[in-house]
Amino acid sequence: MRKLLVQTVLSAGLLASASVAQSATLSLSNWTFGAGNVVHTSSPVFNGAAGGFAGTLGGAHAGVFSGPIDTYCVELTQSFGWGVAYDNFSVVSALSHFGSAKALTLGRLMSYVVGSPGAVDSATESTSLQLAIWNIVYDNDLSLATGGSFADTSGFGSYAAKLLTWSAQQALTQNVFVLKSATAQDQLLWRTVPQGQSSNAFTGVVPEPMSLALVATALAGLALTRPRRAR
């Protein structure tokens, strides 16, 4: 019985180490364009600066995102601190986080922004893009006018609504992901779809080689600790 308990603990430890090693570490250092502009939103209520962020992402599960990144907030219910390293993030697909409708709209929005030079290249336009992302997350329309589930009265909402309208029929060229954390603000990530492949916003994130190797190690550990039959 004791031998079996030791085997079980060892196997569980191997699997746990694979899971922990898949975490990503995020540190946000500054605004992507100048500084954020103050917005006034409702449902949820937020009165503060908004815009894109610049930072770095590392760790085994950072994958293709490892290194300097640009990102936007997904949620308004949590926050973050400049220069703080948050080490409990994981990368998930937009589909698994939001469902197909919102994932598609986010994919079209980011595809339009990436494919339209000048659409978002200033602090004010970056603030509007952040509002557009929040509108997709918290609402079901293309307007940020007062009366909807999510609204803004700061004046940046008008351009946000234009971005949502202009991108409504955009072809998908960007894979969209979410940096997800239980304790810090979730962040939106995107990457250009590799040539010859379709957007995987609806198929999930393929595990990175390091993650696969760790899982293989854990499974091998399970095989080694399996009781042998007496001959």
pTM (2 d.p.): 0.79
Q: To which residue do tokens 């990503």 refer?
A: 24
**Could you report the per-residue pLDDT of 152-175, keeping only the tens digit for each?**
999 999 999 999 999 999 999 999
Q: What band does 198 get if pLDDT is binned at 50, 70 and 90?
A: low
Q: Which residue is associated with the tokens 């009781």? A: 227
Secondary structure class of 39 (helix, strand, coil): strand
Q: What is the pLDDT of residue 55?
A: 97
Tokens of 178: 């979410």
The two tokens of residue 153 are 């009265």
Which amino acid makes up residue 135? N
Q: Which residues pair with 28 in a beta bridge?
A: 55
Amino acid at 176: V
What are 97-115's pLDDT values in tens digits? 999 999 999 999 999 999 9
Separate counts of helices (H) and strands (E) for the chain: 6, 9
pLDDT for residue 200:
59
pLDDT of residue 224 exceeding 80, the answer is no
Name the residue with higher pLDDT: 84 or 201. 84
Cα(43)–Cα(41) distance, rounded to whole angstroms? 7
